[in-house]
Amino acid sequence: MIKALKTLFSSGELMDNVSNGLDKAILTPQERLENFNRLLALYEPFKIAQRYLAMIFCIPYAVAWMIIILCAVITFAAGFIWPNTAPMWENIGKMVELLKGDIGTIVLTIVIFYFGGGALEGVVGKFKSMGK
């Protein structure tokens, strides 16, 4: 029992453990840079995910808006030939509401996810440089 207590409270090993813990707790600028570079390497898969999400949602969303604008132009031009284009305008209005509603929220979230990381990083960097 005494031998177990002696090994538990041995000062040599305790000092080594405390000094190693303090060394790891206080980072030098070089260690911070190395940690940041490791973090960037770990962030790469998320950048790819951001690009895929941006392409999968934003390109069709923009194409849908272009199609709606084209339909509106055609409907406006058709109004000179046919007097009753009100049903066409109602359908265009429904499509606009659909794109502005839930789909627009999804695309806005994805755009914020895609551009927000870089923008936030730039803002944080600017505030850090102002503090110096």
Q: Is 27 left (phi over 0), alpha (psi -120 to 50) or beta?
A: beta
User: If you search the block for the tokens 């260690």, which residue do you land on?
Assistant: 31
Backbone dihedral angles phi then psi of residue 20, each to the nearest 5 degrees: -65, -40
pLDDT at residue 1 tops 60: no
Candidates 37, 56, 49; CA nearest to 106 is 56
Q: Which positions ≥6 away from 71 have C-beta within 8 Å?
A: 88, 92, 95
The arithmetic mean of pLDDT across residues 25-36, rounded, is 77
Tell me, what's the pLDDT at 67?
A: 95
Is the pLDDT higher at 72 or at 130?
Answer: 72
Angle at 123 between CA 116 and CA 110, to 5 degrees: 5
* Cβ neighbourhood burial of 117 (10 Å; 0-12, 13-18, 19+): middle
**Is 21 a residue whose pLDDT tops 70?**
no
Q: Residue range 52-59: average pLDDT?
A: 82
* Structural domain boundaries, residue 23: 2-131
Give the pLDDT of residue 68.
94
What does pTM read for this prediction? 0.55
Sign of CA dihedral 62, 67, 71, 74: positive
Q: How many domains does the structure of the chain reveal?
A: 1
The pLDDT tens digits for 62-120 are 999 999 999 999 999 998 888 888 889 999 999 999 899 888 888 888 888 777 766 66
